[in-house]
Amino acid sequence: MTGFVSFVGSGPGDPELLTLKAVDRLKRADAVLFDDLSAGLILSHARSGADLVGVGKRAGRPSPKQHHVSQLLVDYAQEDQRIVRLKSGDGGTFGRLEEETDALKAAGIPFEIIPGVPSACAAAAAAGIPLTRRLTARRVQFVTGHDVRGALPEDLNMAALADAQATTVVFMGQRTFPAFAEMLMQAGLPAGTPALLAEGVSTDAQQLHRTTVDKLAEKLNQGVSDAPALILYGALAEG
């Protein structure tokens, strides 16, 4: 006999943004392996007696290795357990979901994927802006601001990312944004393109900073906070 794993997107942090299906799986789980950003009140939905295991990874901090997290899922499932793998935002967006599902497939363990509210959507909602606009912002693009080394990826499509007619969302990009912004401007993005830095979205620590691409690069070059953050740029980021 083997167990079953539910990959649950917890949204950006506000427990009221959990889906009904997410809450149901938390209430029935024998073990919950959770990201740092999925902790706090969200875990209050877990049933009494469930194992709660923190496996979150944060930039610049000691974190569990990915192979260790994947092996934990397999180990719990092989004990005929019902497991929730609680991922912040939507697990399929820069959440290393596939590495964990591949481990389960290799071990013959069944699983399901329950989507969560993407942090990009929550950030736009918090700022009171849409991600698209008819005629002038027909495209939304998500990009990661760092690779496996924590550096700016070397294979970015700068022509697409410098398109001022798109809404671009940068995940995990605070530390690399000054260099990224320079590359954007060299590729033709106007320095004064509206930008939004959204920190701690949907939590008590939420802060929204509206500025421009060049000024945001200057700000982040002076230092970054430890809060989880997204950067949005494009015409709609002005609000």
DSSP run (H or E) holding 143? strand 139-144
**Cα-only R_g, the chain:** 19
Residue 202 near residue 17, CB atoms below 8 Å: yes
Distance of CA 8 to the CA centre of its chain: 13
For the question of residue 27 being annotated catalytic, the response is no
Question: Which residue in 87, 82, 71, 69 sits closest to 110, CA to CA?
Answer: 82
Residue 106: C-alpha distances to residues 50, 74, 90, 110, 157 (Å): 26, 10, 23, 10, 33
Three-class SS of residue 118? coil
Which residue in 21, 24, 36, 57 is the catalytic one? 57
Helices 97-107 and 66-77: angle between axes, nearest 10 degrees: 40
Residues 6+ apart with CB under 8 A from 161: 141, 143, 168, 184, 187, 189
Residue written as token pair 């997410």: 22
Which residue in 30, 35, 90, 214 is the catalytic one? 35
Q: Return d(Cα 218, Cα 191) in angstroms, integer.
A: 11
For the question of residue 51 being annotated catalytic, the response is no
Active site residues: 35, 57
